[in-house]
Every structure is written in C-alpha cells, then in structure tokens.
Structure 1
C-alpha cells in the first residue's frame, strides 16, 4: 500500500498543519474572510503550509490533480514491478517439498512394474516338472527254515561284563540263523548226493560252528543267480538292441574304388580275347568273426568274369562282423562288381 501523505491525499488529517483541501479553497478564493485570516496567520508561522499554498497558487487546480494522478500511477507500477519477482521466487519455494515425494512415488511404481514383469517371465519359462520313477520294490528274501529241534551246542565263555555277554548271545543267534539257512539250501542237494550218509556228521559240525564243504557246494555256487521279478519285467519291457549289418573295413566307398580298379586291370581269358561289360552280383556268407566262409555268383556275366569278381572280394578288405541281438552274428551280404 502507498504511504499516507497529506500532500497527495486531500482528505488525510493534517495534524498540526492545515488540510490541503483548505489550502486549495484559499487559493481558489472560496473561503470566508475569517477562514482566510486564519490560513494566512498559520502560514506565517508554518513554513510547510506556506510552501504548499505557494505551489497551489502557481498552478491551476486541474493541472495539479492530473500531475498527482500520474505520480500515483507511476508509484503503483513501480511497487508492482518490485513485488512481482518476490512472488515468482516464493512460488517454487512453496511447492519445493513436493519434488522428493513425487520422485519416491515414481520409483516405487517403477519397482512394482518391474517386479510384476519378472514374476510373469519366471512363470512363463518355468521348467517342466520332473517325473521321478518310483524305485522298484526289492525282492523279499524267503523265510529261513526253522532250526532243528534241540538247543545248539554253542559254548559261550563267561564274562564278568554284561555288554560282553549280550554281544556273545547276539553272535550265537546270528550263527544259528546262518546255519539254519545253509542246511535248508543244502537239504535237496544232500538228498540227491551219494554221500548222504555223512549228513548227520555235517549237520552236527555246522551246528557246532565248524565250516564244512559238501561235494555239491561247487555246483550250487556255480548256479546262476536268480533275477528278481521286477528286474525281469523291466528287461522284457526294454526294446531289443538294434541289428547292425556287416561292413567292409574302410567303408563301402573304399570297397567300390578297390573293385573298380581291379575290374579295370582284369584281362579276360576267352579264346577270342573279347571284353564284355556288365555286372556280377556276388553273395558272401560271413561268419561271426567277419571272415568270408562262402562266396557265389548270384547274377553271372561269364565264367571268367564271375571267377574274377569272387577273387577280388576274397582278396579285398576285411569285413567287420554284423550285430544281432547285441552279439556278433553270421550274415549274408550281396556285393555288385562292375566290369566296363
């Protein structure tokens, strides 16, 4: 707001000085004689009021009012120009605390979006569930045959300690169980053996803890081990191994080059000495070791050409035996020999 100035505001109280409006009336000559006398007396004692009255007398009232209006307008513009930068600086300060909060909210939103995208990618590329086959049940061992009647003559040395006696009893029980199973397994063999007369002596020796070997023991030990039923089913369900044909050493390409060169060097033995061109198909009977056991011409050209084709194959590269059912096996192979 503009400061209160009695010179610029005619209605403002003059205090110890005369009002400006009163001085204007004096300059215009509209005051009564008594009021004029009082103004003159006051201006003689107050230099400020005398100065104002002198200025009002020098300019007309209209010019003075216009000059005062222009002065007030310029003052207002100057004050507004000085106050505008202060408002512009104060406005960002008022909202400066919003910037950190907006940045934190943006970072939180970005983190949520990134976490959701990562979880979606993990769900899309999740590995397929691994199916673990259940282990096949172990074969149940047959129950041990009951031990023969009567206590087994097991001698246990007396011991003052309780733990030693307990271990001795456990050892005796295990030995008795093994002896019973051994007798149950050897009973059929002993019955069929001609030395069955010595069975009571062996039984008593086994019960006494003395190791004995029966004549049928090697036969029983050489028998193949029993295959459990689940393992047998698994082997039956497995596909058979693939069969592989017999191949020449170095491959068929090397064999064809060898036959082509040998056929080109062949000189026919016919009386007229004429050459013929054609193919001789030779059937080879290969053994399990890959050796040629028999060779015969299935498709013939001429006796001398047929004999030369068989000779070339017999003198040619060795053969790798074929595979059938997982083992080497004899096979029959037919090989063409070209003569030009």
Structure 2
C-alpha cells in the first residue's frame, strides 16, 4: 500500500525529498545496515567513501516513503530496509560497491550476545600474562591455559565459538583479554538496485582468484581448440602454421621426401637406424669398427632416459614375445649387416 508524505512534518518531507534526489541522480541505490557501528567508525567510513559513494542515514519509515513515491521496480528495496538502515548512492556497479564496503570494515572486540560471523579460534602459544587468576578464567571457557616459563601459555589451538553461535559474556571477556577481535564492523550492504535489478549480498560475493583461474583456463582451451580445429585467428595463426610445418616435416621424413628443409632430418633418422642395425649385428658376434662402435654407444646412452620411462606393465608382454623378437632381430640384423658392410 502506497504511503504519501502530505501529512508529514516539513523536516521529514525534506528527508524524503533528499532520498528521492539521491535515487534520481545515481545509477545505483542501496540499503545498508549500520547496526553496532560506533560514531567514530561511521565518520571514518564516510571519509573513505568520499568521491565514490554517499551515505544517507534516515529512518526506515522515511526510506519507505521515498521509495513508494519514486515508484517502479526500485520499490523492492523497501523489503530490505530493516534494523538500523541507511541509503547509499553511487554510480559504481554493485560488485564494486560491495567490494568497497567490505574493504572499509574493521575488526572489533565481540560483545556478549553477538553472533559469531566465523569460527572464533584461540591460537596456541605464549601470552603476555603473568601467572594469576587469568589461568582459571581461560580454563573456564575451554581455553587450555597453563603456566610455562613464568608466563601464561595456550597449550593448543582451540575453537571457542563456532560460526552462528552466540558469544557468552565469559568468552567475550576472555577474547578481550587475549586481544582477539573477531567481529567485522562496517556498512553491511543489504541490497542494491542497479539497472532495474535488485542485487543481494549472496549474488555479489565473488572469488576473484577463482574467476581469474577459470578465465585463464577458458582462454587456454579456446586457443587449443582453434589450433587443433584449424580455425585461424590473429592470436592462433602463428601456432597453426607452426603445427602444420611440424606435421609436414614429419610426413616428409617418414616418406623420405628429399627436400632441402628436411634432408638433414632424413639423414639423421637413417643414421640412427644404421646404428641400431650395427648394435644388432654386434650382439650376434660381428665386430664393428671403432668409429661405428663409438657412435652406436653414444646413441645407446642418449636413448637410455627414454627407455627408463617405460612402465613395468610392458615387461610381461616383452617376455611373452621374446622368441619372436629374437627371430626378427636376427633377420633384420643380417640384412642390415649386408647393407652396412657391403
């Protein structure tokens, strides 16, 4: 049901008009929760936001009046004006605003009755306290404290309050003494209206590192797809041509096509095969000249690292076909010997 301001005092009408102007002059308008923020912290936040965003404190009823008078889809923001709310106006997008507000938050001590935003953990290690009643106070709230070397020491890391649980007075007092400040204090964005859409915090929390990794992975996969599918682009044409050259060179070597760019590769392959034949001949009792033996030994050493990468699963198969391979080696060795020694 629409609310109107004709019955409001002038100062309230002025407040409503100011909110309406803020909505009209900015591309983004949001509702923030200011509960529990000390006045000094509010001033600090205002200074940090100066030039980027403007915060307007107002009663929830006046915020509702202003939203209703503006009308349209922005009215949906009134559902988020709860507690100690304020309006925020900016021309940034909601993701940047959310990140900016998160950066303005500071750590403060917990108060009794507050809800733990995350697991509250007391780390192990020495403290600055001398032996005294503090040991019993810590032990009463489940913190394993002991006296060691004339100082109070926390013997092991302890989670004293889990996320979502209420912080008791005793635990709050213990945390203050240990200088542990678990509470994030700052403007909490309840909702942001931007380009006819209402964004809630759950939509604005982004793991930037994960997104960056996903973008990098997508770029790599797109590059590979372009190269392998031969889809030329300014970024991949070089890799596509390089791949084609390598494949063409391989075909030339395998088919022994004597072109100037691959003749050295063909000769090198022939050299390796010749040395393989020489080693096979030597294994069957033929003597090799010193130069051939030296070259064959060098080739064997160079091939050793590649041989060590073979899996153990391949060994049984080799043993099963040993006789067949022996016969093949004898045949190839005799033929190679004739070619090698005339």
Judge same fold: TM > 0.5, yes or no.
no
State TM-score, norm by structure 2. 0.23
Structure number with higher relative contact order (C-alpha < 8 Å, ≥ 6 residues apart): 2
Whose Rg is larger?
A: 1
State TM-score, norm by structure 1. 0.23
